[in-house]
Structure 1
Amino acid sequence: MSHTPTSTTPGNASGAAAKPTLTGVRIRQRKGQAKATAKFEPEVFRDSLLLHLALIPTPPTTDALVTKLVQAGTTLEFLKYSEQLFETLVVGGLLQPGGSYLDEKRSPFYSLQPTEGEAAEALGDWDPVKGIVETIQRVSQRYRYLQRPLEDSFLPDLLGYLGKWDLASRDKLASTVALLIIELQIAPKCLTSLAKDHVVKDEVALRFLTTFFRVYLSRQTIEHLGAVMRRSGLRDILSVFPVAIRDRAHLDAHFKNEGLPQIVDWYAKVALSEIKEETITAVARMIQDEDTNDQVVEYLKTQQTERPAPEADLCEWIFQGWMKAFDWSARADQLESNVVAFVNQVAPAAEPFASTAKAQIGILNAMQVYCYQDTRILKAFPQLVKVLYNADVVSDQAIIYWHQKGAKPNGKQHFLKVTEALVRFLEEQSDDEDDE
């Protein structure tokens, strides 16, 4: 077949040949492009999904529900309509911005479904909360792209609408969220929505979190829950308490009355950990700013009044603050003498808080562990003990007790050996005083 050369297009200054075109051929749009330009029709998706769910016999089973959803996933766009899929499964219908239902259409099976009266008869022994959680878990294993929108957008938005539902529905939602985090191991970032002012109002967030804790602890340990709360982004559970009762006394009373004393104990540890970090940082900063020992003591006394901590813990934190403030940039052969001189300078700030034997043993052990971990000042330990003794931070009896019974296992034999001479001297001195 011969080809006629293509003439130059008028107005084409470059003289380049025009691209050939195909006539009589239908160009098919790429699948991805077609999806991107398709209309967003959540109600059409919902209606199609309900047609699949309507085929499930009552009372339902989780196996039947999962089977139907997997079948529906072959024709319906679960990724594009993930929010509408979860709304149908969890709250039963589509939601408008703000959390109100879009219309009266409801799924025959959903997590917040009433379980009294006629609804209970239709459900039989099937538990909507547990059944829907297991359904979401199994469907998400089939369509793995569903977990990200569940934890990133759907649940955080949904918890922002808590005030729209009655107490029974909120309790079911709290149970659902707890089980989803346990069973699917989803990120618990949705819990940050509980700190929003309109959710905190009227103790809505507090009641939700209480139910969440109760369900979670029925399946997992308090340590597991603590790890989840650290990852949640909800920095302080006091933030879910209304402002008028946002204090430790109300927190302790609430969870004790709810039969959750382990939450009280856990929160006490969390609060103590926060005070620890603040104390260490503050002591280090004040020393680096060249504040006097009296100023450091004044700060610590104020803190003890506002947020009291055990003296034994406080003395350990003071020592850790010293080490954080110490200038470690000196030559290696000068570090030992420098750290002894430094502690001698700052030691008076610890004396007012080391009034008990437990506090004195605490600071000795903090120093022992630190020297064991940072071998650069390992040999300075006996001199550091002498410094604390001369500054009246630790007594002779505290040093003797530490040597006999109270030392930590970290390098214990080494530290006992290098302090033998000092302890022997203190014992002889104590015997001489007894004789007198």
Structure 2
Amino acid sequence: MSQQSTASKPSLSGVKIKARKRTVQAQAKYEPAAFRDQLYKHLETVQEGDFDGYYNKLVQAGSTLEFLKYADTFYEIFFCGGLLQPGGTYLQDGAPPSPFSILKARDPLEVDDMKKYIDVLNKLVRRYKYLQKPLEESSLPGLFQYCNRWPAEQREKFATAVGLIMAQGLSTAAPLQNLAKDHLVKDFLGLNVLTTIFRTFLVDQSMDHLGSTLRKGGVKDFIMFLPANKRDPKVFEEHFKKAGLPQIAEWFMRRQTAAAKESVVKTLKQLFEDENRTNDEIIDALRTVQEEQSIPTPDFVTSVWQGLTANIDLNIRADQVEAVVLREVDKYAPILEPFCESAKTQVALINAVQVHCYEEARLMKTFPQLLKILYNKDCISDQAIIYWYQKGAKPQGKQNFLKVTEPLVKFLQQQEDESDEDEG
């Protein structure tokens, strides 16, 4: 034991321990210019217009160059044709423009021509999947911030490329939020870039797909893409109509209306929580909301009805539901009455009642009685009820509602005929 304890241990002096490859790469200097030069060597051998050749050379380059480490550098070269300095200006070190970038797309720009470049990128990202995350999270957001420094032609090519990238699922719409920065919304620059992106996206995809892409990307407040002194939904709507994209204008206004309706319902809930508020105070508050949200009156009345009925507690016995609903509608009908001046609005209210009764099946038989209450409270006229019965009803449960309403309609028509005879 003593001999073992006193024996000297082997020495490692003079032995060079080989570091792991990843450790060496991590400790290596960051040299984007060297990466660019090596990438150029691969691309320079390809004949211009040979997109398969460019793809093959990029795949070959990916096996030797550190695409992951230099992902942002690669995308600068692909989108801008060279390296950018902080602030977005080109690095002036004597290097020529890249042999392959979207700036090589022909002028005047055509989407089909740009597709060839994006198809190469698409295949490359499918091959090297680690390139997709930096594209969305760092490269596109960074490049958007610099696009105000580029000529209009370069911005158009970049925006067209981004539209195709989004349409092909290479990136979500999240990077678009960078176009709402103060220096980009000035003079509508950011909105014009956004317009080109949307127009390109819609070449191959539907408006519903675009709406879904924007929602998933967290792009919600579109007014922020407008200059600070022009942030009005109507300005946004008119811009896209003039740009020849009425489907975006219509989609946006539907979205605005839906959001406004939610606001009305939420406001009513808050108003009803204060039991001391009078109907007149509630009406005044609703008028303010209508003015602020610029909601068409038929849509507004529909929202008010939804807000009123949302505050009726139906967690009661089945035999009590009808009486409770009729009592509450009778109580709150005066809130609706000031907004029901036009025939169109009155028919919209009847349809709102119809849909509500259809969705709450326990109220289907109560529908005529609800109409009677609204009629007696001057919310709807006999002409509105008759028009709804003849050609204005919604498809939801239409035949059932027409059947249960028939006696009321006949009564109103009879009254109308008698009134005409008296006048005669």
Correspondence for 2:189? 204
SS at match of 1:276: helix
- Given candidates 151, 175, 184, the residue that maps to 1:190 is 175
**Superposed counterparts of 1:63-74, under 5 Å:** 63-74=52-63
Whether the 8 Å contact between 1:365 and 1:407 is mirrored in structure 2 is: yes
Correspondence for 2:33? 43
Q: Does 1:79 align with 2:51?
A: no
Q: 1:343 to 1:34 in 2, by over 3 A?
A: farther
SS at match of 2:223: helix
Correspondence for 1:294? 280
State the Cα distance separating 1:127 from its structure 2 match: 8.2
**What per-residue deviation string (whole Å, max 9, x for no partner) do you get for residues 102-154 of structure 1?**
334331121134857xxx9xxxx998743321211110111122112111221
Higher helix share: 2
Correspondence for 2:117? 132
State the Cα distance separating 1:27 from its structure 2 match: 4.6
Q: 1:305 to 1:427 in 2, by over 3 A?
A: same
Correspondence for 1:108? 99
Whether the 8 Å contact between 2:173 and 2:219 is mirrored in structure 1 is: no
Whether the 8 Å contact between 1:195 and 1:239 is mirrored in structure 2 is: yes
Q: Does 1:173 align with 2:158?
A: yes
Whether the 8 Å contact between 1:90 and 1:132 is mirrored in structure 2 is: no
Q: Which moved more, 1:158-167 or 1:94-103?
A: 94-103
Q: Give, as a single letter, the amino acid of the residue that structure 1 aligns with 2:295.
A: A
- Given candidates 297, 313, 324, the residue that maps to 2:310 is 324
Q: How many angstroms apart in 2 are the aligned matches of 1:378 and 1:29?
A: 77
Structure 1 alignment gaps of length 5 or more = 10-17
Q: 1:213 to 1:429 in 2, by over 3 A?
A: same
TM-score by length of 1: 0.85
TM-score by length of 2: 0.87
Aligned residues, how many?
418
Q: 1:31 to 1:371 in 2, by over 3 A?
A: farther
Q: Does 1:402 align with 2:402?
A: no
- Given candidates 345, 349, 365, the residue that maps to 1:359 is 345
Whether the 8 Å contact between 2:237 and 2:253 is mirrored in structure 1 is: no
Q: How many angstroms apart in 2 are the aligned matches of 1:53 and 1:63?
A: 12
Q: Which moved more, 1:407-416 or 1:21-30?
A: 21-30
- Given candidates 243, 268, 275, the residue that maps to 1:258 is 243
Q: 1:276 to 1:103 in 2, by over 3 A?
A: same
- Given candidates 301, 316, 341, the residue that maps to 2:327 is 341
Q: 1:31 to 1:242 in 2, by over 3 A?
A: same
**What per-residue deviation string (whole Å, max 9, x for no partner) do you get for residues 27-46 of structure 1?**
54344444444443323322
State the Cα distance separating 1:63 from its structure 2 match: 0.5
Correspondence for 2:81? 92
Q: Which moved more, 1:143-152 or 1:31-40?
A: 31-40
Whether the 8 Å contact between 1:337 and 1:380 is mirrored in structure 2 is: no
CA RMSD after TM alignment: 3.2
Whether the 8 Å contact between 2:290 and 2:300 is mirrored in structure 1 is: no
Q: How many angstroms apart in 1 are the aligned matches of 2:11 and 2:409?
A: 99
State the Cα distance separating 1:348 from its structure 2 match: 0.9
Whether the 8 Å contact between 2:54 and 2:120 is mirrored in structure 1 is: yes
Q: How many angstroms apart in 1 are the aligned matches of 2:239 and 2:392?
A: 38
Q: How many angstroms apart in 2 are the aligned matches of 1:126 and 1:247?
A: 31
State the Cα distance separating 1:91 from its structure 2 match: 0.9
Q: Which moved more, 1:322-331 or 1:188-197?
A: 322-331
Q: 1:5 to 1:376 in 2, by over 3 A?
A: farther
Correspondence for 1:60? 49
Moved over 6 A (4+): 20-25, 125-128
SS at match of 2:99: coil
Q: Which moved more, 1:261-270 or 1:277-286?
A: 261-270
State the Cα distance separating 1:331 from its structure 2 match: 4.1
Structure 2 alignment gaps of length 5 or more = none
Q: How many angstroms apart in 2 are the aligned matches of 1:347 and 1:55?
A: 78
Correspondence for 1:308? 294
Q: How many angstroms apart in 2 are the aligned matches of 1:215 and 1:329?
A: 51
Whether the 8 Å contact between 1:89 and 1:132 is mirrored in structure 2 is: no
SS at match of 2:103: coil
